[in-house]
Amino acid sequence: MDIITQEIKNNDQLIRVHGFQTGRLAIKQSAMTSQKPGMWSTLWSFKDKNFAEWLPVWCWVIEHPEGVFLIDTGLSSEVNQKNYFRKVDFVSRYYFEKQMKFDITQADEIDQQLTKVQLNSKAISKVILTHLHIDHVGGLPHFTNIPVLVNEREWQSKDGAFPVLFPSTFNPEIIRLSERFQTFDKAYYITKAQDVLMVETAGHTTGHTSVILKTNKGVLFFAGDLAYTQERFQQQKFSATTKSLQQSLLTCEKVKDLAQREKVVFLPSHDTQNGERLAALANL
């Protein structure tokens, strides 16, 4: 599976960004291109026999002078176990077992991939979750003694999340996003330098959050599932499981507004083009 590494000189400091592809997943074609997201569209997609293209599942590490930050934890290879979904409700179990496909081995999990860039689970200072869906929290068992930051609104709403699948040790640091960053009225600065921050990007889930790294070359926007890919962001295409289409569209406007003021490298969790886009940062 792919690993991307990009070094960024920011003033006098060196920041290293790594992208790790922790497996792939696929959902039904009609669930990908739903006109009206919601439960009915999800149920309707069960009739569809065709899966859409495989989507990579990215998570990210920022090696920063103030710490090593992991954004999302990817898939767990335990999804391959026959009874992994036994604890979730009947319809959701059917969805995960029959309406989704996963491609992940133990070697693809985030803990093993970190070692390929001379890091390991213990080197992580903080984990930041964009939201609580299974392909973003799957690697949490590898980070039991490390603070895990979750937006308070995401923790309260838990849209499409399955707490029965969370590790029993999961005790996140709940973050209230009470600061501001440009057009984003819910933000939280993680670093003292105020260059790594969480911004609420609601829509996919009620408390969906993106992570921003500000550099003197431009803004790296770790977009989670705000849209699955940049192309889908531009076409305003959202999946059937989107919590609020209206919120998603409002969030897109905020990102577009930011992109008019600054150079933005948009890095969604399921985009095959992330490597090229990140590499292009060097030429900005």
Provide the binding-site residues for Zn ion, judged by CB under 5 A: 133, 225
- Give Cβ neighbours of residue 168 (< 8 Å, ≥ 6 apart): none
- Min dist CB 27 to Zn ion, Å, is 11
Task: Report the alpha-carbon distance of residue 189 to residue 199 in Å, rounded.
Answer: 9
Closer residue to Zn ion, CB minimum distance, 55 or 149 = 55
- Min dist CB 154 to Zn ion, Å, is 11
Q: Which of 30, 33, 27 is nearest to 245 (CA)?
A: 33
For residue 102, the cross-strand partners are: 25
Task: Report the alpha-carbon distance of residue 232 to residue 253 in Å, rounded.
Answer: 14
- Exposed/middle/buried for 242, CB within 10 Å: 0-12, 13-18, 19+? buried
- Min dist CB 200 to Zn ion, Å, is 15
Closer residue to Zn ion, CB minimum distance, 63 or 200 = 200
Q: What is the DSSP letter of 44?
A: H
**Structure tokens, 128:** 């930041």
Closer residue to Zn ion, CB minimum distance, 19 or 224 = 224
- Min dist CB 284 to Zn ion, Å, is 29
Task: Report the alpha-carbon distance of residue 213 to residue 278 in Å, rounded.
Answer: 12
Closer residue to Zn ion, CB minimum distance, 205 or 215 = 205
- Min dist CB 24 to Zn ion, Å, is 14
Closer residue to Zn ion, CB minimum distance, 200 or 225 = 225
How far does CA 45 lie from the centroid of its chain? 23
Task: Report the alpha-carbon distance of residue 113 to residue 160 in Å, rounded.
Answer: 27
- Exposed/middle/buried for 67, CB within 10 Å: 0-12, 13-18, 19+? middle
- Min dist CB 6 to Zn ion, Å, is 24
Closer residue to Zn ion, CB minimum distance, 28 or 133 = 133
Closer residue to Zn ion, CB minimum distance, 55 or 219 = 55
CA angle at 200 for the pair 26 and 143, rounded to the nearest 5°: 65
Q: Which of 6, 15, 26 is nearest to 272 (CA)?
A: 26
Closer residue to Zn ion, CB minimum distance, 126 or 133 = 133
- Min dist CB 131 to Zn ion, Å, is 6
- Min dist CB 75 to Zn ion, Å, is 12
Sign of CA dihedral 216, 217, 221, 222: negative
